[in-house]
Amino acid sequence: MPHDDFPAGTVWLVGAGPGDPELLTRKAARLIATAEVIFYDALVGAGVLDLASSAAECVGVGKRSGRHSKDQATIDALIVAAARDGRRVVRLKGGDPAIFGRTAEEVAACTAAGVPVRICPGITAASAAVASAGTSLTLRGAARRLTFVTAHARAGEPLDLDWQALAAPDAMLAVYMGRSAAASIAQQLMAAGRAADTPVMVVVNASLPGERIIRGRLSSLAFLVDTISDHDPTLLFVGEAVRSSTAAAVLPRLQGHAMVRP
């Protein structure tokens, strides 16, 4: 029985979390099960889609670096058209919709069309990654600032980031879609004053069975990602929080962990 917050003709932008279906919120699971049509991203875990009704139409609209199955305008149009047909629509996004999720465009498209739209938050991949690693995104006295950035830039364009701010010794940096830009990120941070021995952590397929956690230092970041496929979702972490004693105690028990000290 649909809840009052999901009448026909409504759109929900739902955070699917990092991939593990057990990391979905209860609200997200309910909305997925109630939806009549689901437009889902490439990074949505297969187990998450298993929660959909057998009668639901599930449409892949995922965008991956260099491989866009649908452009944003097309996705917007599909969402609006389904809602105008009187269907309960879920736009299912990996992680949290509000973090590098193109949510603003989809909310604007629905609002302009007079379609009711709401947002259900999810666990972002960075939170899941550090949880798996047994560490934290912050560390009292050493990592007091946390910045999420995306390393995805248009083809041929350099990363336009405030490298001086990101290079501060008490800054913790989480980089989404950073595998291909790892060498540039390390060079820019060190050029801006970040120490070469700053701890880094690379997490591949966070929360999924094939998860890998690789540790090293900033000067070796390009080497650390060298064996990672560009098909695998990868997060980069730079900062003192990933050198915590908690991580040292937990990581040896994790499958796929590697410690690199070149």
Residues belonging to the active site: 41, 63
| β-strand pairing of 63-64 with 67-68 | antiparallel
- In the three-class reduction of DSSP (H, G, I as helix; E, B as strand; rest coil), residue 185 is classed as helix
What are phi and psi for residue 251, nearest 5 degrees?
-60, -35
Distance separating alpha carbons of residues 220 and 21, to the nearest angstrom: 33
- Which is nearest to 124 in space by CA: 106, 142, 150, 145? 150
Name the DSSP class of 22.
G
Round to the nearest angstrom and report the end-to-end CA distance of the chain.
Answer: 58
Residues 216, 159, 197: CA angle, nearest 5 degrees: 20
Distance separating alpha carbons of residues 112 and 114, to the nearest angstrom: 6
Q: Is the dihedral of CA 104, 145, 260, 163 positive or negative?
A: positive
Residues 167 and 211 sit within 8 Å (Cβ to Cβ): no
Q: Classify residue 118 as left (phi > 0), alpha (psi -120 to 50) or beta.
A: beta
